[in-house]
Amino acid sequence: MKWTLFIVVILLVRIQPEVLAEQQLSRQDVLNHLLNTSRYDSSIAPNFEQDTATNVTIQLFVRSIHSIREISMDFSVDIFLRQKWTDPRLVFINMTDITRLELDQKLIDKVWVPDTIFTNEKEAAVHSITVPNKLMHLYQNGTVFYSARIGMTLSCHMELQKYPLDSQFCPFYMESYGYTTENLIFHWDTTKAMEITEVELPQFFIESDPYFDRCDKDYGEAGIFTCLEGGVLLRRNTGYYVIQVFVPSILIVILSWVSFWIDIDSTAARISLGVLTVLTMTTQSAGARSQLPRVSYVKAIDVWMATCLFFVFGALIEFAYANVTLRGKKKMNGAPTAVQGSSVSVSIVEYTIVELPLKNIYTCVRLKS
């Protein structure tokens, strides 16, 4: 009996510290154990052996949208792409009391991550000053939280029919490149799918809450791929166009009407005013279109500019018509006109020859009728 008790006490003393030690592994030991290449292979998807797909929850945090270009139909953004999924191989519930581990960005390469791509991307980069801007958290239950800061230029198809009174929808399309829906499925985060802050666009403001949806794609032989679609509706701020386009063109049209007050016989003044306003209008409309792609449809700005040009041109034509009609009337009345000068008896009162530095000789003649 005594011996049995002794053995039991010995066993307890020997076993208790080991059990405790197993429950309280240091963080480094947990990581070494989890990411040991002989038990964990980062090139294999979490549920590769099972028939279920890995669910990846995605959240976009749009830090800034900094330029929207009509000419190339694209926009530049700076985002945090946050992805969350569960990897059963990374569960460490019974190893330690720590609820989560924060990984260094060098260790991130040792963990499997989804192969997310932005299908409408033109160019993109993960910021890497001073180290690649990535973070990863591992939770006890095997949940992995992965975030990366990405700067991207994404294409955005624009409908410019109403330009510059238009709104543009600029989307984000996220797809898995290598895994079909049998292995990987994306979901939008249910609490906050897309968040947008600090948008300081000189020409646009955000019209409504971000839009998000699914867009799974069937590529035939390659299979069905998971896809998420999100986007922002941006409305153009017309202040710039009022100051730079609308007000100047209105003034030019009014200026062309000034010629109606000028004497009809002042041909030089009226013709030059008319031609100048027509030319200015042409330059204005070319300037307004210089930042736009050469689309084949008619835009609102074209209608505006064409209308202004029509008014200005009309003022010039009105003068030509009035001049011709007046001349005809004068001819019928038989009144002497400037044009019929030869038939009016005149006598030269005085004349001088003026020699100008440019060797052009003018004869100034004062006529007396």
Question: Of the two residues 139 and 225, which places its CB atom closer to ligand NAG in the complex?
Answer: 139
Name the minimum Å distance from CB 35 to ligand NAG: 9
Q: Which two tokens stand for residue 58?
A: 């995605």
What mask of x and - would describe binding to ligand NAG in positions 200 to 219, judged by CB under 6 A? Answer: --------------------
Question: Of the two residues 38 and 43, which places its CB atom closer to ligand NAG in the complex?
Answer: 38
| Position 64 contacts ligand NAG (CB under 6 A) | no
Name the minimum Å distance from CB 97 to ligand NAG: 12
246: amino acid identity, one letter: F
Question: Of the two residues 155 and 180, which places its CB atom closer to ligand NAG in the complex?
Answer: 180
Name the minimum Å distance from CB 91 to ligand NAG: 5
224: amino acid identity, one letter: I
Question: Of the two residues 38 and 342, which places its CB atom closer to ligand NAG in the complex?
Answer: 38
Where in 123-162 is the site for ligand NAG (CB under 6 A)? Answer: 139, 141, 143
Question: Of the two residues 76 and 147, which places its CB atom closer to ligand NAG in the complex?
Answer: 147
Size of the site for ligand NAG (CB under 6 A): 15
Question: Of the two residues 26 and 32, which places its CB atom closer to ligand NAG in the complex?
Answer: 32
Q: Among 36, 266, 272, 307, indicate the residue that binds ligand NAG (CB under 6 A).
A: 36
Per CB under 6 A, the segment of 52-60, 208-216, 243-251, 259-267 that binds ligand NAG is 52-60
Question: Of the two residues 111 and 156, which places its CB atom closer to ligand NAG in the complex?
Answer: 111
Q: Could you tell me which residues are beta bridge partners of residue 34? A: none
| Position 181 contacts ligand NAG (CB under 6 A) | no
Distance CA 108, CA 89 (A): 15
φ/ψ of residue 31, rounded to 5: -65, -45
Listed residue (177, 199, 172) closest to 188, CA to CA: 172
Name the minimum Å distance from CB 203 to ligand NAG: 40
Q: Which residues of 288-303 are buried (b: 16+ CB within 10 A; e: fewer)?
A: beeebeeeeeebebbe
Question: Of the two residues 29 and 123, which places its CB atom closer to ligand NAG in the complex?
Answer: 29
Where in 92-111 is the site for ligand NAG (CB under 6 A)? Answer: 93-94
Name the minimum Å distance from CB 94 to ligand NAG: 4
Per CB under 6 A, the segment of 91-99, 159-167, 220-228, 346-354 that binds ligand NAG is 91-99
309: amino acid identity, one letter: L
Distance CA 193, CA 171 (A): 14
Q: Which two tokens stand for residue 359?
A: 């060797």
Q: Site residues (CB under 6 A) for ligand NAG?
A: 32, 36, 38, 47, 52-55, 86, 91, 93-94, 139, 141, 143
